[in-house]
Amino acid sequence: MRCRRRRRFPARYRGPNGKTHALRRLLILCGVLLLVWGAICELLSRAVTGELAHAALEDYLREQINEAVREELADCEGDFSTLGEGGDGQITYVTADARALNDLKTGVLSRLEKTLNRRAKAGVPMGSLTGWGVLNGRGPKVPLRFNLQGSADVAFDTAFTSAGVNQSCHRVTMTVTAHAYSQSVRFETEARAETVTVLSETVVVGAVPHAALLGGLS
């Protein structure tokens, strides 16, 4: 019996194989899931109250402040305070580095200027929209879009605190305050957020130094 050779067709004439079918099904499934999720978010967003929108914007402001401070501190080199010693080797004064603090303030405000004046997206946990206390703050976040106009302010402070017997701690802190208003038709709200960051801590042994200066800050 003569064997028939199986005719082979070029790849461009072959029908779709199993892998192609599986990939197509996966893409279709992903598309359907995205449409369903979008419809769910749209329905749930109608249940967002003014309080929830305010809380979401407040969280957004706090996140932007923390990110701006973190990025600027990563670019800073050195300390933000300088110790001065007397002839006997004892620390007689602690001076804040006004130039370094001014540079930090300028950088933080520059970053916040961009993130507080634009279209922004925040989120409300899905569980908070159910009205059930046990689910409050839980679940995936329903996205809210804000059209923001805002501003920020940076202030520094120094203080001495007791750190034990014959010891004191000199601390330089930075307070960043952000305020934003959303002109969004659906989520018109405003919020304010504030964070405090410790920039420098120095433990001084012996008598408390005479001065801790923060002059020269603009």
Tell whether 76 and 160 lie within a shared domain.
Answer: yes
Tell whether 60 and 129 lie within a shared domain.
Answer: yes
Tell whether 42 and 78 lie within a shared domain.
Answer: no
Q: How many structural domains is the chain composed of?
A: 2
213 vs 74, 79, 82, 140, 171, CA distance in Å?
A: 24, 15, 10, 48, 12
Q: Say which residue the tokens 């130094």 belong to.
A: 209
Tell whether 41 and 74 lie within a shared domain.
Answer: no
Q: Is 74 part of any domain?
A: yes
Write down the pTM of the prediction: 0.69
Q: Is 11 part of any domain?
A: no
Query: 116: domain range?
Result: 49-213
Tell whether 21 and 111 lie within a shared domain.
Answer: no
Tell whether 85 and 32 lie within a shared domain.
Answer: no
127-144 per-position pLDDT tens digit: 666 665 555 666 667 778
Q: Is 5 part of any domain?
A: no
* Per-residue tens of pLDDT for the chain, all 218 residues: 555 555 554 555 444 555 676 777 777 777 766 666 555 555 555 556 668 888 889 999 999 999 999 999 988 776 787 766 655 556 666 777 888 899 999 999 999 999 999 988 887 776 666 665 555 666 667 778 888 999 999 999 887 776 666 777 778 899 999 999 988 767 788 999 999 999 988 777 665 555 555 544 55
